[in-house]
A = this chain, B = another copy of it.
Amino acid sequence: MPSKKVNIDRVFHALGDPTRRAIVEKLSEGPISVSRLAMPLAVTLAAVVQHLHVLEASGLVRTEKAGRVRTCRIDPAGLTVAEQWIGDQRSAWERRFDRLGDLLAGPDEK
């Protein structure tokens, strides 16, 4: 079930930043708290929280607070939207080459 909030502009914009991609890469391995997520990244906790807001708003990441710990996890909806758009371009592009191939092969080959 894709999140309602997924916006393809925001998904691609969010992925254009190396720290945000590092966050998505880490979360692809499993959910983790904000503080543990921030540890290996060469940025402040405040910067990580800011990046998480951008990732959440785009539909790439979800966060959830339980007691004093905020846990982050991948929201597959965001990546799926980006993957589908790229796949659509590849399909259009491959169909064009198939048609060119048919044309070059000539009527005898059809």
Give me the interface of A with B, judged by CB distance under 8 Å: 8-13, 15-18, 21, 24-25, 28-30, 74, 76, 79, 82-83, 85-90, 92-93, 96
Given A12-B13, A13-B12, A79-B86, verify A92-B18 contact (CB < 8 Å).
no
Given A83-B83, A93-B28, verify A15-B12 contact (CB < 8 Å).
yes
Oligomer: number of copies: 2
Given A9-B18, A12-B15, A15-B12, verify A82-B92 contact (CB < 8 Å).
no
A85 & B21 in contact (Cβ 8 Å cutoff): yes
Select one of B9, B79, B87, B96 contacting A89, CB under 8 A.
B79
Besides the known contacts A16-B16, A24-B89, A28-B92, 13 further A-B residue pairs in the complex with CB atoms under 8 A apart:
A9-B18, A12-B13, A12-B21, A15-B85, A21-B85, A25-B88, A74-B89, A79-B86, A82-B82, A83-B83, A83-B86, A83-B90, A86-B86
